[in-house]
Amino acid sequence: MNAQAIVYTSATGFTGRYAGLLAEASGLPAHPLEQAVKALDSNTRVLFLGWLCAGNIQGLARAARRFDVRAVCAVGMSPPDPAYIAKLRRPETLRETPLFYLRGGYAPERLRGIYKPMMAFMTKAVTRAPAKSPQEKSMQEAFLSGGDWVSPEALAPVMNWLEAGSLS
């Protein structure tokens, strides 16, 4: 396998669900980042999953300092967009690292701390004008009511990458 463990950060549970699905499918242990720092050696090869906030993969910098991050899954609420995914590669830690985008979800009722008012502001901004496309309408509805797009099928490319390491 390309990784020895799955390490993740999750704010509202969607990234954690993907980590659990990957652990079940791959047989690898999954650890929240805080737990992984205590439980895993610093040279452990990991698949890292982090939720997106303002175009940043949460927890990635800390995970990259501590572990041998072999691939990254960025979990966001919008449909996959190649231009946006390309922007996620900006950090030096992602230059040659495989990056996968997974559409997770949005649960406004689970937001805590600074994220609650920040996303309330975003909701107003996104829903202010009438939607110009079905995609915009879908995103407006997600901001207002939440949404859940976690899907085991979305993990196929990640599983292919994980399993490719066992063939070499």
The whole model's pTM is what?
Answer: 0.84
Q: Which tokens in the block code for residue 8?
A: 């993740």
Distance CA 164, CA 167 (A): 5
Strand partners, 101: 74
As a whole number of angstroms, the distance between CA 42 and CA 62 comes to 11
C-alpha 139/C-alpha 150 separation (Å) is: 16
Task: Kindly give the confidence (pLDDT) of every residue in the chain, 168 residues in length, as a single tens digit, with 9 standing for 90 and above.
Answer: 689 999 999 988 999 999 999 999 999 999 999 999 999 999 899 999 999 988 889 999 999 999 999 999 999 988 888 888 877 876 665 778 899 999 998 877 777 787 777 777 777 777 888 888 888 777 777 777 788 889 999 999 999 999 887 543
- Quote the DSSP letter at residue 67: S
- Report whether 80 contacts 103 (CB < 8 A): yes
Q: Domains, the chain, ranges and CATH? A: 5-106+148-164 (3.40.50.360), 108-145 (no CATH)
At residue 168, the pLDDT reads: 39
